[in-house]
Amino acid sequence: MARRQAVFLLALAFALGAMSSMASAAIVEHVFNVENVTVSKLCQDHVITAVNGSLPGPTIQVTEGDTLLVHVFNKSPYNVTIHWHGVFQLLSGWADGPSYITQCPILPGDNYTYKFTITKQEGTLWWHAHVSFLRATVYGALVILPKSGQYPFPTPHEQFPIILGEWWNTNVIDLQNQAQALGTGPNNSDAYTINGMPGDLYPCSTNDSYMLNVAHGNTYMLRIINAALNNQLFFKIANHKFTVVAVDASYTDPYVTDVAVLGPGQTVDVLLTTDQTPGAYYMAARPYFNAQNAPPPDNTTTTGILIYDELPYTSPIMPLLPALNDTPTAHNFSSSLTSLVGSPNWRPVPTELDEQLLWTIGLGVSPCGPPNACTGVPISHPPASANINNASFQFPTSQSILQAHFFNVTGIYTADLPDQPPLKFDYTNPANSNNTAFAFAFKSTRVKQVKYNATVEIVFQDTTIVGAENHPMHLHGYNFHVKYNLFNPVIRNTIGVPVGGWATIRFQANNPGAWILHCHLDAHLTMGLATVIVVENGPTPLSTLPPPPPDLPQC
């Protein structure tokens, strides 16, 4: 009887908590003016496209259960959409934001309001432009607070977003157009940034460093986001360790480390205790790179300064950062992460599989005409492309894939992306880079369609065609378990597939809509390393995608 009473009281407490959280759910509104502004960096004035005149753009803070309304006014000369990276968009897939996947772009001079409810999520996500290379400067943090007001760890004294980015001394749209015209990847960035600032190791940047003022003896949460277009990054703070408590808005078992590694699109929440001698300490980020047959990235370091008790300082202490190609450190970080079983919104690994997919991912070149017209063309010859199972994704232009799916419009896409590689070969043999038989991948808009509630497993296998690279693969609309750990695998929305290696994810397709799955290296996305997972409606109104908003941008 005592046990039954305890269970009843626990259930009552949860019910009262749920009623309280429902009563406190709010409508949070923001206005995003997307416009060109002039900024001065690295000894030059530049015109960039930004939100509300700032880099990064505004931090959005909501509580789980809130409804977010963002009124976007496109005052720039470019098409734009905004993607809410990592937000599930349960039954609100029209608001996901990727251009030509769930909507057509917001044209210059037009506006659109994104509206969606944050459901079953808490932690650090972010938002960014999802058309062209505008993501380089159109981005910001999206912080979801727990509706209970409690974390599965002691509440930190304060919380700070730390957004890592890239900077070019050129117009990023011109950069993209030049790369596409030459059939190559874009030129290297000129600097990395922390919260939009390069730090004092770069020219003309003595006063362009992010300063984080802390007090001795406190614990702070740093919400670290990698918003860089094309680079994985190491992050350290001199003389300090920190505890990883979440990645991609999913709680982890506490993991103590002195370095974090983030691929583009990934987030890491860490607890930092200020227990060192009061003074000034550099926080620093630099690239991690071990690709084969690819030019190295900009191998420079961005810095911010952690300052204790607002003390004056002259020479901050610098951390010893890993080497550019320090794969053991990168692997140790990623392989040490496990999910916190029983934490809010945690879900066990699904064990029964409905779809088992093996998708090769990698680089190639686009055919230069009919199938036999490229005979004798060297594999290094442009234009470069990228593909999944030898299908290089072509974005539609006349209608979004979600609209075509919802209204049963034919001719926009085909649901025939192969479940298995069309040609089986030694995927990681270095000799593949010289084999033209594997090199060419035709452009197409091929997707994978699955039943509602199907359990999907995808094995991503990197290939050495042209060259092997790390591919941070991001799935919209879902989190996934990273396999093969069936007890407490880390839960993410973006997974780094290692150079010449593989990664396996598993998720339950319980969110109807059209969800792009793509490499979060923008250079590879524009080359075609993407597809769309179309999830059919379920049998009830709560598993059926509603019609699009009447003012959804049209092509």
- pLDDT tens digits along 409-450: 999 999 999 999 998 999 999 888 777 777 788 899 999 999
Mean pLDDT of 281-308: 94
How much is the pLDDT for 500?
92
Q: DSSP readout, 34-96?
A: EEEEEEEETTEEEEEEEETTBSS-PPEEEETT-EEEEEEEE-SSS-B-EEEET---TT-GGGS
* C-alpha 188 chain-centroid distance: 20
Q: Which residues pair with 36 in a beta bridge?
A: 49
Residue 190 has pLDDT above 90, yes or no: yes
Strands 27-41 and 67-74, sheet pairing: parallel
**Cβ atoms of residues 126 and 139 within 8 Å:** yes
Element (H, E) at 202: none
Residue 59 has pLDDT above 70, yes or no: yes
Confidence band of 367 (pLDDT split at 50, 70, 90): low
Compute CA distances 68 → 150, 160, 518, whole Å.
21, 21, 25
Question: Who wins on pLDDT, 469 or 84?
Answer: 84
Q: Provide the whole-model pTM.
A: 0.93
Task: Tell me which of 44-53, 56-65, 173-182 is least confident.
Answer: 173-182
Residue 3 has pLDDT above 70, yes or no: no
Q: Would you call 23 helix, strand, or coil by DSSP?
A: helix
Task: Tell me which of 16-20, 148-152, 367-371, 494-498 is least confident.
Answer: 16-20
**Residue 242 to residue 256: CA distance in whole angstroms:** 6
Residue 370 has pLDDT above 70, yes or no: no
**Residue 80 to residue 134: CA distance in whole angstroms:** 8
Residue 15 has pLDDT above 60, yes or no: no
Q: Which residues pair with 497 in a beta bridge?
A: 471
Task: Tell me which of 184-198, 372-386, 500-514 is least confident.
Answer: 372-386
How much is the pLDDT for 508?
98
The residues near 439 (Cβ < 8 Å, ≥ 6 apart) are: 364, 365, 379, 465, 466
415: which DSSP letter? S
**Residue 447 to residue 169: CA distance in whole angstroms:** 37
Confidence band of 114 (pLDDT split at 50, 70, 90): very high
How much is the pLDDT for 379?
47
How much is the pLDDT for 201?
97
Mean pLDDT over the full length of the chain: 91
Pure H helices in 249-387: 327-335
**Residue 313 to residue 543: CA distance in whole angstroms:** 58
Mean pLDDT of 83-92: 98
Number of H-type helices and E-type strands within the chain? 5, 32
How much is the pLDDT for 314?
84
CA nearest to 214, candidates 240, 251, 250: 240
Question: Who wins on pLDDT, 12 or 339?
Answer: 339
Prior bond to 383 cis, omega within 30? yes
Mean pLDDT of 389-398: 95
How much is the pLDDT for 17?
43
Confidence band of 225 (pLDDT split at 50, 70, 90): very high
